[in-house]
Amino acid sequence: MVSIAGYGAYVPLYRIERSTIAEQHGSYPSDGELSVPSHDEDHITLGVSAAKEALAHAGVDGEALDAVYVASVSDPFDEHGLAPHVAYAVGAGGDVRVADMEGSPRAATTAVQTARDAVETGAVETALVVATDILSASPGSSVERTAGAGAGALVLGRDGDVADVSRMTTETTGFVGRFAVGGRDAVEGDATFNREEGYLDAVPCAVGRLTNGEAPVDADHAALPAPDDGWGDRALGALDIGAERHGTFDSVGYVGAASVLLDGIAAIEAADPGDRLLLASYGPGGSDALLLQAADGAATAPETTLREYIDDKEYVTYAKHRKYREMAGGGA
C-alpha cells in the first residue's frame, strides 16, 4: 500500500492579528491571526523549507526522489515553474519527474493523487508532494482578513511508517465559488450560496465515495479546509462523522492549496498510531477526499513541528505586514 514516509510544515515567523487589520480599516474585528511572509520569502523558499522538514522526517535523501509535485494557487509566474526549483534545492537528481499543479486549492490533493498513483504502479519509488501559497490581498479588501502564507509537504513511498493512504476519491462538479484572476484579490461572492451549492455538494460527495456512500466514514481526525472556517464542521455534520476537526485557519489563515496539507499535518500530529484521518480539499471544480490510517511513525515528530512553527511567532504592525506581503508577492 502507498504510504506517507514523512511530513513537514512551514509557517513564516511573522503574524498579524485579524483585529489589527480590522482596526486599520474601521471594520468589524474578528478573531484569530494570519501568517505574514517575510520580505525575503517566496513560494519556492516556503516550499523548500517544508520539503526539507518532510525529507528529514522521512529519512529520505533528496537524491532518492523520483518525483516532485508542487501545488499552488498563487504562483506569481505564468512561465517559470515551482517544482523544478524545489527539486533542485532539496538535492534531487536530473532524472526526477516534476510537475506543477495549479488552478484550484484542490491542486494539493491532485498532487497527492498523482504521486500515489505513480508509486502504486511502480513507476516511482519515492515522491515528494509540496503545496505552497502566499495568498494575495490588497489593503482593506475582505480577503486581507483571511490571506495567509505557508507550505506543507509529504513524502510518499511504499514502506512509509507515518500513515497508510487507505483510499482516495474525488467529486468534480465544475462549481466555481471563490475564484481569482492572476495576481488579483480573490472574488468571494455570496458565502451562503457558495457554501450550500458548492462546498456542501462537492465535499460530502467526495467523502461519501470513500465508503461507496454506505456507512458514514469512520474517522478520528479530520482536515476540511475552506475559505471560511465554519464550512468544515457543516460537512462533518452533513456526513454524520464524529471526527475531531483540525485546522490552521485561526492561526495561519486561509492558505489556498497549502491549507489541506497544513490542516492534514495538524491532524497527523494529533493522531495516535491506528487512528483514521479524513482529509478533503475543496476549490473551483470540486473536491478530493483522502483517508489515512496513522502508523507507528506518526508518534515521531519532525525536527520542527507545525505546532512549533505556529507557536514561534513575532507580531508585525499593519504597515510592515503590507510591506512584507508586497515584497513576498502577495500584495495584489
Partner 1 sequence: MHRPGFWRDRSQNERFTAARCLECGYVCYSEHRQVCKECGATPSEWEDVELAERGTVQAFVVQRRMPEEFETPLPLAVIDVPTTDGESSARVYGHFTETDPDEIEIGMEVEADLRRLFDVEGLPVRSYRFKTPRGGAGR
Point out which residues bind partner 1 (CB under 8 A): 13-14, 38-42, 44-45, 48-49, 52, 80, 85, 88-89, 91, 303-305, 308-309, 311-314
Closest CB 91 distance from partner 1, rounded Å: 6
| End-to-end CA gap in the chain | 43
- Of the pair 185, 308, the CB lying nearest partner 1 is at 308
Closest CB 225 distance from partner 1, rounded Å: 23
- Of the pair 45, 170, the CB lying nearest partner 1 is at 45
Closest CB 314 distance from partner 1, rounded Å: 5
Closest CB 194 distance from partner 1, rounded Å: 34
Residues forming a β-bridge with 278: 222, 291
- Of the pair 2, 11, the CB lying nearest partner 1 is at 11
- Of the pair 34, 44, the CB lying nearest partner 1 is at 44
> Helix, strand or coil for residue 313?
coil
Closest CB 312 distance from partner 1, rounded Å: 5
Closest CB 41 distance from partner 1, rounded Å: 6
CB atoms inside a 10 Å sphere around CB 1? 12
* Whether 93 contacts 117, CB under 8 Å: no
> What ranges in the chain are assigned the alpha helix state H?
18-25, 43-58, 83-89, 107-121, 191-193, 200-208, 231-239, 258-270, 306-311, 318-328
- Of the pair 282, 309, the CB lying nearest partner 1 is at 309
Largest CA distance in the chain: 56
- What does the alpha-carbon distance between residue 135 and residue 326 come to, in Å, rounded to a whole number? 11
Closest CB 309 distance from partner 1, rounded Å: 6
> Helix, strand or coil for residue 8?
strand
* Whether 18 contacts 33, CB under 8 Å: yes
- Of the pair 44, 165, the CB lying nearest partner 1 is at 44
Residues in the chain: 332
- Of the pair 48, 168, the CB lying nearest partner 1 is at 48
- What does the alpha-carbon distance between residue 128 and residue 61 come to, in Å, rounded to a whole number? 11
- What does the alpha-carbon distance between residue 135 and residue 37 come to, in Å, rounded to a whole number? 10
* One-letter amino acid of 144: E
C-alpha cell at 54: 518532510
> Helix, strand or coil for residue 103?
coil
* One-letter amino acid of 154: L
Closest CB 218 distance from partner 1, rounded Å: 34
- What does the alpha-carbon distance between residue 197 and residue 332 come to, in Å, rounded to a whole number? 28
- Of the pair 27, 304, the CB lying nearest partner 1 is at 304
Closest CB 315 distance from partner 1, rounded Å: 9
- Of the pair 134, 236, the CB lying nearest partner 1 is at 134
